[in-house]
Amino acid sequence: MNDKVNKTKLFTEFPPVSTKDWEEKINTDLKGADYEKKLVWKTTEGISLKPYYRAEDLEKLDYLNVSPSEYPYTRGNKKDNNNWEIRQDIVESNPEEANKIAINAISRGAEAIGFNAKDVIDANDIRVLLNNIDLTKTSIHFVSATSFPVIYNLFFEEIKRQNIDVKSIRGGFNFDSISYFLLYGKYYASQDNNFIEAASLTNNTIGNIPNFKSITINGQYYHNAGATIVQELAFSLASANEYLIKLIEKGITIDHITPRIQFVFAIGSNYFMEMAKLRAARFLWAKIVEQYKPADEKSMMMDIHAVTSMWNKSVYDPN
């Protein structure tokens, strides 16, 4: 695929300019000012960003030569397109009111809905919540719930009641007991019990709704708490690896676990660094999963849900 890329040079009527020539011109224009202080941006991650980059800066980065859908998936999982889903999360917990908001969001272009299912306690509630929503066309995510295993049971029963092909059901559970512990200082129940629940959810999705995610890695919490990009990735990947360890201990294979994990990352206003973050996340996740020796190379793909950062200014910036 890479051999077919058209590498025809454009604007051949203009002579090429070497890096040395550029540097000489820049230093002339600076009129003695410090190059590093004026033009090199030092990020909070400790990375120095140059004022410009050229092809020679990328020569040693072999992974940039791979196509989309190829290991290590830095350019994404899809080969033929770069489509993504537009998701609307709904704070309202009342099933009837949440359903109305969801129907309105779908009519305005939402392709995925995130529900707060804390008030969903029986079959009637789940039926009201999902009323008039085509589950084969709209991805359903359960962001909050009193018990995710209970929501799974109610949701699966509703799928069977509607006689829907389970392979057409997409979405996921926001089950992340590790981030819950970080936020509230406690687990849903207990540490051991939570990993038992994680294994149960994963086994149930494998067997009954195979395209549904059972585990969510909420990296946005680190970002919104002030973490750097490096910290957000490090904490998120460490958390994900902990789930791999615990679920493998419970007898689930790596090839069954990773397709049921989704990552959530917050995207800030630092344009190029945020793009680099997503590529680095995919690259690092592929390297982590590779150590578990999956039978299917696709098990090293990362599923990402991107959300807008809750902040992009420091406390010292004017309102």
pLDDT digits over 51-80, tens only?
999 989 988 888 888 889 999 999 999 988
Q: What's the pLDDT tens digit per position in 5-55?
A: 677 878 888 888 999 999 999 999 999 999 999 999 999 899 999 999 998
Least reliable range by pLDDT among 183-187, 224-228, 268-272, 311-315 = 311-315
The domain spans of the chain are 2-58, 70-308
Mean of the per-residue pLDDT values of the chain: 94
Select the more confidently predicted residue: 174 or 14.
Answer: 174
The per-residue pLDDT for 244 is: 99
Would you place residue 1 in the very low, low, confident or very high pLDDT band (cuts 50, 70, 90)? very low
For domain 70-308, give its CATH number from 3.20.20.240, 3.40.309.10, 3.10.270.10, 3.50.50.60: 3.20.20.240
Is the pLDDT at 250 greater than 70? The verdict is yes
Q: What is the DSSP string of the chain?
A: -GGG---PPS-TTSPP--HHHHHHHHHHHHTT--HHHHH-EE-TTSPEEPS---GGGGTT-GGGGSPTTSTT-TT-S-SS------EEE----SHHHHHHHHHHHHHTT--EEEEEETT--SHHHHHHHTTT--TTTSEEEEEEES-HHHHHHHHHHHHHHTT--GGG--EEE---HHHHHHHHSS-SS-HHHHHHHHHHHHHHHHHH-TTEE-EEEETHHHHHTT--HHHHHHHHHHHHHHHHHHHHHTT--HHHHGGGEEEEEEE-S-HHHHHHHHHHHHHHHHHHHHTT--SSGGGG--EEEEEE-S--S-TTS--
**pLDDT on residue 13:** 86
